[in-house]
Amino acid sequence: MSHHCHNEHTHTCGGDGHDHHEHDHSDDITPALQFSLYQHIDFDQIVTLNESEHGSGKAVVKKTWAERMNPEPEVASDADEELIINVPYVHPFVLNFSWETGFFGEL
C-alpha cells in the first residue's frame, strides 16, 4: 500500500510500520491537486441527460476543488434516479482511475 507520509513519522517493527501519533494526513490531497483534470475540461461542451434544471449538470462540474463540499449548485434528475453527464476534455487521454464523490442529503 502506498502512503504519502514522506518521512513525517517514524517506522517501527510490527504493525503497519506507521506511528500515526505525530501527524495527520490533511495534506494528502496534494497529489490529487497536482494531477487534476479540471483545467482540461471543455466546459462549453458538457451535456447532462435527465437533468431537471437546464445547465445544472454543467454548474456542478464547474465547481472547483474548494467548492466541492458545498451542496449548491446541485443537479437532480427529472425522469428517474439516473443522471448521465458527458464531460469532454480539450485533449484526448487515457483515464486509468476515477473517483467521484457526491453529496447526498435527506432522501
**Each residue of 42-64: pLDDT tens digit?**
999 999 999 999 999 999 999 98
Q: Which amino acid is at 54?
A: H
d(Cα 69, Cα 40) in Å, to the nearest integer? 21
Average pLDDT over residues 66-86: 90
**Each residue of 17-33: pLDDT tens digit?**
555 556 555 556 665 56
Judged against a pLDDT cut of 90, whether residue 11 lies above it is answered with no
Q: Which residue has the higher pLDDT, 3 or 62?
A: 62
Dihedral angle computed from the Cα positions of residues 104, 35, 33 and 64, in that order, rounded to the nearest 10 degrees: -50
Domain-by-domain residue ranges, the chain? Answer: 37-86
